[in-house]
Amino acid sequence: MRRLSLCALLLLVPASLTAQAVHGKLTVAGGAPIAGAIVTLVDSGGTVVARVLSTPLGSYALATRLTGTFTLRVLRVGFPAWSSRPFTFGVGGIGEVNAELPEDAIVLSEIDVAGSGSCQVGAEEGSATATLLEEVVKALGSAELALKDREYAFQMVSLTEQFKESGLKMKSDSLVRLLYTWPFLSLPALKLRDGGFVQRPSATGIDMPLDGSDAYYWFSPEASTLLAPPFLETHCFRVVADRKDSTRVGLSFAPARGRRMADITGTLWVDRRTLGVHSLDYEYVNVPGGFPRKGARGGMEFLRLPDGLWILSRWTIRAPLEGGRSIELTQWMEQTSHIREIRRIDGELVYLAPPRTH
């Protein structure tokens, strides 16, 4: 059962005010607010024209300069997407949409992991693969949106180590800095599809290093990479079991057959009960000649905050350095980072990581 309140969806204001706005509050039965949900404004053609995260109080506000018929669509991890009835905006329209959303959670307990089949490009609608992909979209999308809107400041701690193939440590540096953007250097999905995950700066169009070198960059995946059509169309997916932890289920991916350029293969691990994204493990494949064929890899861990926001809490990337005269003399660089503290822009503390023992 759902209740929907549509109020004043077409209020006339002076023509000079051309932006249309809709606001409201999202709750569940009993009035508890829904925080950290992705609220989108969708036009009649199905295009998302605005999106925002609901606040800890469940409120949201969206604006667009477009007029016409729109639908409010709400995405939250572990629950089916919810859509309002269509409504119309004229010039300067201001609307209010308050909604009580159902609490019918998506259930994955009956997934037959053993019978999930071979790795398939794309995901058939209604399949376990499609369901897991959609939940990953929600979780990673909310983390990316929070950074994009700059509502939070993240204090990041990084440890960078350089070592030889034998394991002998060469040097180690630590760094603490403040983040307002996604922490990885990545490329648009189209450039990664066409050029691969290991490229020289001169081939990508990004700024060259200050020293003028054109050494290979090992690009990490990000939300807009893993979930974009160019990635989905060039990788196959299948559901896998976690043999060590029955509470998790994995969405494994690999380059599609015949794809030869540098790429990544890995598994997104999802909580079977809540559908929350737990972690991502990946490794680089089809690496350029002169580098060890194995050993370059990365990982990410995710965390859901009390206000409903999903964040990237810890990440690692390990890659060989260019210039070794042989594989045996290759030097490696590994960076491990974690979020130590999160504050709202007004200074309010949102998250403080527990002390780390390693």
Summarised one tens digit per residue, pLDDT across range 32-88 is 999 889 999 999 999 999 999 898 899 999 998 888 899 999 998 888 899 999 988
Q: How confident is the model at residue 116 (pLDDT cuts 50, 70, 90)?
A: low
Q: Which CATH code of 3.40.980.10, 1.10.10.10, 1.20.1300.10, 2.60.40.10 fits the domain covering 3-100?
A: 2.60.40.10
pLDDT of residue 140: 76
- 142, 136 in Cβ contact below 8 A? no
Select from 242, 256, 220 the least CA-distant residue to 122. Answer: 256
pLDDT of residue 147: 66
CA distance 217 to 326: 19
Give the whole-number percent of the chain exceeding pLDDT 70.
81
Q: Give ranges for CATH 2.60.40.10 in the chain.
A: 3-100
CA distance 95 to 91: 12
pLDDT of residue 27: 95
CA distance 210 to 298: 26
Confirm whether pTM is higher than 0.85. no
- 242, 281 in Cβ contact below 8 A? no
DSSP category for residue 133: H
Residue 12 confidence (pLDDT) above 60: no
